[in-house]
Amino acid sequence: MAITYRHDVLIIGGGAAGLSLALRIADSHSVAIISKGSSKSGSTYFAQGGMSAVLNNEDSIESHIADTLNVGGSLADKETVTFTVERGPENIRWLQELGVPFSSEIFKSGKRQLHLTREGGHTHRRVVHAADSTGKALSETLENHARHHDNITFYEHHNAIDLITTEKQGETANPNTCIGAYVLNKKNDRVETFQARFVVLATGGASKVYLYTSNPDGSTGDGIAMAWRAGCSITNMEFNQFHPTCLYHPDAKSFLISEAVRGEGGKLLLPDGKQFMHRFDERAELAPRDIVARAIDHEMKRLGASCLYLDISHRSPAFIASHFPTIHQRCLQFGIDITKEPIPIVPAAHYTCGGVSTDLNGRTDVSHLYAIGETAHTGLHGSNRMASNSLLECLVFAQATAEHISTQVKSPHHHKEISSWDESQVTDSDEEVVISHNWDELRRFMWDYVGIVRTNKRLERAMHRASLLQQEIDEYYSNFRISSDLIELRNLALVSELIIRSAMLRKESRGLHYSLDYPVKDNASMARNTVLKPQQQSSTAKIKIIK
């Protein structure tokens, strides 16, 4: 018998955005949190650097706004940036009240204050952190509070398949409204129905679309793909941030070397030990991530090097052990003592700056459907995300979405019974190799053709392969019983197409999108967002102008 769960709010994703929203809304609403694995399997848990906010008198709200707009390459929306930055300090205080163990230090006055570090793009120290495992501290604190709340129910090892909307249910008299989701219970391989008055996508980004990524395995763009299929517009998918420094070691899967290492004086080196960043930007190691990643990529290709190096060994062993304990211990496991020798590094896909188009309340184009965190495009990041603004965005927009949902308490319930998932026309697959092969092929051609440096020809080749893959995947999806790998592959293939289509529309180089065919920024005609709408074909996709 089909199972249907009913809650006021369904949150798909259990990272910083989803958990903080749940805690802010649960006193007055019943909340379901769906996650593909445990809460420790998402991107938040692995975040090292921290969260940016104006927290001392030497800094200012105006400075944080100016830095964010500067790094955003003329595409960050000033209203969104101001909205977010102004709410940063109160969100840090909220986290402190919950007990997040942020690092602190004793000043000469004898007063203990938060220790603030500085990262690329910031003109002041404003990154609050918990040593070099901020995400872990944040996740564990939020989850501990959420698990002890009577109105919050966790559904772990559940993979959302698709959103349920009134249009999909055949109701077209009123505006399209999201009323739930079909979800695969990975424990028993059954599809369950979740019905809710409000649905929130907090599924993270899509960096798993690339062969090399700092992200965990679950970053497969699920929320973006589901929102697109539900009728939402998607913005700026061409801007994919590549973190400059991931540990280069065959056994070090997805291990990030925090930008804070460079913030505390770490130097990037060529294989011969020479520094090179000063040749690319006057800010050297503290230049924004897109510049640093391109510089590393350029030098690796120029030299034919498999990796470059990041050296912090000139700082004292005590400093390194206290500021970067996780990185220090992790590198030691691979025989690298960062107190004595440089760290081998390579760039890797790290953050999706585009996503589901939302307003300042987290609302999407579909009624009662919200998107927050990396899944959403709020306008904060523009063409390049400034370091440590992502956790800030998660917290601020979770707060804003909670406040907006709370104003909708009188909105009507959807009482009509939702159709159960239909498996009557499918069979068990006898060709699982199709999934694994297509998964590998997709991630490799996205890395080769739609990576740090792009060309028209590379994008055309990628689009051709993406189209063929989607045809194969759609046929497979129609004929065989659903699986977690198939759900993720289907979403990755769609997100790949959205990235490629967006990149083909941007005839310039700006921020994280760099094209050898259009190497110059074109402010006259390209200082605008790339907005794709589901009802449009690639030839008619529009670009929305930023005011």
d(CA 43, CA 348): 14
> E strands, 224-342, where?
234-235, 240-247, 267-269, 308-311
Q: Which residues are catalytic?
A: 289
d(CA 161, CA 485): 11
d(CA 516, CA 377): 26
Pick from 38, 54, 65: nearest CA to 89: 54
Amino acid at 204: G
- Non-local (6+) Cβ contacts of 466 within 8 A are 442, 445, 493, 496, 497, 500
Q: CA quadruple 106, 111, 117, 123: dihedral positive or negative?
A: negative
* Spatial contact of 484 and 184, defined as CB atoms under 8 Å apart: yes
* Other beta carbons within 10 Å of 493: 24
- Non-local (6+) Cβ contacts of 36 within 8 A are 157, 158, 159, 186, 218, 222, 484
* Spatial contact of 282 and 236, defined as CB atoms under 8 Å apart: no
Amino acid at 241: Q
